[in-house]
Amino acid sequence: MRFPFRRILKTGFGARLRRMITAVAVMALVLLVCGPAARALDLDIDHAPVEVYFSPNDGATEAIVREIDRSRSEILIQAYSFTSAPIAKALLKAHRRGVKVQAILDKSQKTQKYSSFSFLTNSGIPTYIDAKHAIAHNKIIIIDRAVLITGSFNFTKAAEEKNAENLLIIRSKELAKPYLENWQRHREHSAA
């Protein structure tokens, strides 16, 4: 007696089986291509306080400025698009009160007309360009190695007023740590 494999593949169960096989094949391919760099982090952040913002006009920029104003020792930024005057001014204010501020920006920021690249650089804030990647698409701020700001929210006026974006503020040293390590890896190949 032959196993009715073709008949099973035509049923609802067969469709689920095909999707599972495809998913397993894709995961195997990702592991093969990416190797050890494709790793999941198993972090316990169940009790980490999280604030969530959605744009337009939900106060994401104001929340970022508030967190920058609360900083005490260090602010590390990775930004794809950074043209927000309020965020840039808050960083300068933090820098002037002795907070160590550093930024890594996408290469497009070096030539963009209204980018904060020139403002930060001219203010004495170490600012680096990550040109290693097609796009350095991060939107991350790490404050005092304990507060992580991330999400799709670009640090721009358009992100606050026009775009549909999201922002998370997470208070977790454990979660900030791998983001800090990632920031440092990108800093190593970025140019001043």
- Among 144, 173, 177, 186, the one annotated catalytic: 144
Helix (H, G, I), strand (E, B) or coil at 172: coil
How many alpha carbons lie under 13 Å from residue 17 in its C-beta half-sphere? 10
Task: Give the start-to-end residue ranges of the domains of the chain.
Answer: 5-37, 50-188
- Among 137, 173, 177, 186, the one annotated catalytic: 137
Count CB-CB contacts under 10 A for residue 139: 21
Residue 144 appears among annotated catalytic residues: yes
Picking from 115, 144, 143, the residue whose alpha carbon sits closest to that of residue 127 is: 115
Nearby residues of 154 by Cβ (< 8 Å), 6 or more positions away:
79, 80, 81, 82, 139, 163, 165
Per-residue pLDDT of the chain (192 residues; tens, 9 = 90+): 554 544 544 555 555 655 555 555 545 444 444 444 545 666 666 678 899 999 999 999 999 999 999 999 999 999 988 889 999 999 999 999 999 999 999 887 777 666 778 888 889 999 998 988 888 889 999 999 999 999 999 999 999 999 999 999 999 999 999 999 999 999 999 888
- Options 3.30.870.10, 3.30.450.20, 2.170.130.10, 3.40.50.720; CATH for 50-188 is 3.30.870.10
**Which DSSP category does 164 fall into?**
-
Tokens of 3: 């196993």
